[in-house]
Amino acid sequence: MTAIIPLVLLVVGQATAPPLPVAVPDLPTDPARLREMLRDRAQPRLQAQAALVLLQLNAADADAVIRQGLEQSEDPEMFLVLASAIRLARDSRYAEELVRALARQRAIERAGAAEALAALIDQRLVLRLRQITDDPRADVRSRIAAIGCLGRSGRRVAVEPLIAGLELEDESVRNAAADALAELSGWRYGVDAAKWRGWWDRHRDIPNERWLEMRLSFQNSRVSRLESELENARGQTVRLHQQLYARLGGAERLVYIPSLLDHEDPAVRLLAVGWAQEMLASPDQGVQRSLGPLLLRLTADPALEVQRAAVLALGRLQDPAALVRLLALVTAPAPTIRAAVARALSQQARQASPDAAIRTNQVLGALGRLLEDPILEVVVEAAEDLGGLGVPESWPVLTGLLRHPGESVRKAAAQALERVAQPTALDQILRGLDDPSGAVRFSLVGALGNMAVSTTSVLAAVDLTRVLARLEVTLLKDPEPTVRARAATALGECGSAPLLPVMWRACQAGEDVRVQEKAWLAMIDILARGRQVALVTEWDRNLMEAKQSARRIQLLTEVLARWQRRPEARADQVHLQDLLVPVALEQGKWTMALPVLRDVLARQATPTEQQTRLRWLLQAAEQAYAEGNKGEALRAAQDGLTFAPKGSPLIQSFEQVVRRAGT
């Protein structure tokens, strides 16, 4: 519908615009040959070009061919081609022939002549057309066609003849005049001549520019209305198809979907693609065989959105023909289609089949060609799909893309390398960490972390040292907080005890909050993975000196929880429990301390250790009582009486708590 706007401009600009120069391709200039081309109904485009060339020749022979074509009535197609060319070129030499054509028997010829005359309207032609409209002896169809010319012209000189037509005797002519005035003005006064004369008196003397503005405004509003109505009609058509499809059974749907292939509305054909893709999930091979040809055909649909949807659906089609078609579409002219081909090819490569290795090689080759595409959108999609395959053979191509000028391409390649990076790609990835894009560096840091902890492709000791050193530099010096935070996480996954001071520096208040949090969690990861009681004790002491009680509790509880999941680390848990309890009680967290105390009190210990733990239990019971939780205080005191040895000075204290809590 947007193509209507230029036509509107053409209509409203007819008053002052000169004849349009029309460019045509190189054709013969012999009128005889051009006349034969005019008669070639099998090639309508060639007919139109021949008509335009004849109009531009300005030769007597060419003029004779045109007039003969306009006068004869045996070949209406030739007449329509010539009339269209005259309308496009606005050649007024043949106005009289077109006026006579208004009396033709065929409605299509009268309509073609009227369209051409509407583009040629001037004062002389208005008088000629008025002779026809006012002549009661003329064929009523000719009079109505002449009135239509005046209405579609958009010219002010056509107003008075049309108003005069409202007073003619023939009712059909009066109605045609009323419709023509409505077409010309945008108002609808019917056949009331008095109202139309009043309207004309108000607009007779306005400037020509103002008249054209009014015409353009009216036509734009009309186009908008028609577009809205057309969109509503299309939406209703889609809804009706959806309702019908919902009521059909499985077998009926297989018949119904192919019937929509030739529907004129792309939205309906798009529905067919979506339904076909849904049905491809069925394990029934008959469904695949039935819908495969349909999707293959729609990959050549003239509507790009339909073609793209069909291409994406081929990714799920288990048919060798689907892969063949996708490989052919790698060179499709539309970038959106080539991007869709990349995604569909990656889906094809993931399908389990006896020839999976051959299929994967074909897909890798096609994706490699798409990585060289001049459109960034296509390259990005191909890089993402290549990485999504997780094929180790793809890393050389991806590392090469780290030097691509497009940031989006480098970002996609870096994200893909997170999944497929190999030790042999280490040098390229390390160089990529100098990329100006923070998003690229973020993903490459993740790739280094994954390489360092990989169990399938283990880094050599010297390479691991290089990785740790570069991650340390990134943590301390990268300008992006998100990259520094990612480096902290990676160091937590692969680092060791010597990196703890560096991580602690990143936890200080001057650093970004995100980096602080990730660096602290990384320290916990390193300490928990190292399983060194002395090291945990050392950092607990460091945190105590730094007055970081909350972090002390977090460190001890998290490390303790992880060691409890490792049977070989259970022997070291008691020491951590003895570190955790006093810190928790210091913070008033008796609910955290009590379960740990009950666990350690049940273990064997020296009298001194047991006495210390009983004091902690008494402190927890008193904190529970102070907070009003008499039940927990009573149970804790009773546990103390159970574990306290005879003669312990703490027995009396526990009994006092029992008496107070028991009331």
Cα–Cα separations (whole angstroms), residue 225 to 1, 183, 583: 11, 15, 75
Q: Tell me whether residue 304 is in a domain.
A: no
Domain C-terminal end among 174, 198, 223:
223
Which residue shows structure tokens 């004790």? Answer: 537
Q: Tell me whether residue 190 is in a domain.
A: yes
71 shares its domain with 175: yes
513 shares its domain with 593: no
Confidence of residue 16 (pLDDT cuts 50, 70, 90): very low
Q: Tell me whether residue 246 is in a domain.
A: no
Q: Tell me whether residue 240 is in a domain.
A: no
Q: How far apart are CA 73 and CA 66, in angstroms?
A: 13
Give the pLDDT confidence score for residue 492 in this predicted structure.
92
53 shares its domain with 192: yes
- Supply the Cα-derived Rg of the chain in whole angstroms: 43
Give the pLDDT confidence score for residue 3 in this predicted structure.
39
Q: What is the dihedral of CA 638, 639, 644, 649, to 10 degrees?
A: -50
Mean pLDDT of the chain: 85
- pLDDT (mean) for 285-298: 83
199 shares its domain with 85: yes
Q: How far apart are CA 395 and CA 364, in angstroms?
A: 11
Residue 17 pLDDT > 50, yes or no? no
21 shares its domain with 117: yes
Q: Tell me whether residue 372 is in a domain.
A: no
15 shares its domain with 159: yes
The predicted model scores a pTM of: 0.60
Instruction: Find the range with the poorest average confidence among 229-233, 385-389, 482-486.
Output: 385-389
Q: Tell me whether residue 205 is in a domain.
A: yes
Give the pLDDT confidence score for residue 11 in this predicted structure.
38
Give the pLDDT confidence score for residue 521 in this predicted structure.
94
484 shares its domain with 605: no
Q: Is the dihedral of CA 62, 64, 67, 70 positive or negative?
A: negative
Q: What is the CATH classification number for the domain harbouring 74?
A: 1.25.10
Q: Tell me whether residue 320 is in a domain.
A: no
Token pair for 209: 């520019």
Residue 290, SS3? helix
Domain C-terminal end among 206, 223, 240:
223
- Give the closest residue to 78 by CA, choosing from 106, 37, 116: 37
Give the pLDDT confidence score for residue 12 in this predicted structure.
39
Q: Tell me whether residue 335 is in a domain.
A: no
Cα–Cα separations (whole angstroms), residue 250 to 39, 243, 245, 270: 51, 15, 10, 19
Residue 479 pLDDT > 90, yes or no? yes
Work out how many domains the chain is built from and give that number: 3
Residue 374 pLDDT > 50, yes or no? yes
Token pair for 311: 């291409």
- Give the closest residue to 200 by CA, choosing from 211, 169, 209: 211
622 shares its domain with 502: no
112 shares its domain with 16: yes
176 shares its domain with 82: yes
- Give the closest residue to 108 by CA, choosing from 138, 81, 87: 81
44 shares its domain with 144: yes
DSSP string covering 307-364: HHHHHHHHTT---HHHHHHHHHGGG-SSHHHHHHHHHHHHHHHHS--TTHHHHHHHHH
For residue range 512-549, list pLDDT tens digits in order.
Answer: 999 999 999 999 999 998 888 899 999 999 999 998 88
For residue range 452-471, list pLDDT tens digits in order.
Answer: 888 777 888 899 999 999 99
Confidence of residue 619 (pLDDT cuts 50, 70, 90): very high
Domain C-terminal end among 485, 517, 549:
517
51 shares its domain with 179: yes
Enumerate residues 6+ apart whose C-beta is below 8 A from 618: 637, 640, 650, 653, 654, 657
Instruction: Find the range with the poorest average confidence among 279-288, 346-355, 492-501.
Output: 279-288
Enumerate residues 6+ apart whose C-beta is below 8 A from 620: 585, 590, 593, 594, 597, 636
Domain with 505 in it: 390-517
For residue range 541-600, list pLDDT tens digits in order.
Answer: 999 999 888 999 999 999 988 888 877 767 778 888 888 889 899 888 999 989 988 888
Give the pLDDT confidence score for residue 14 in this predicted structure.
43
Q: What is the CATH classification number for the domain harbouring 498?
A: 1.25.10.10
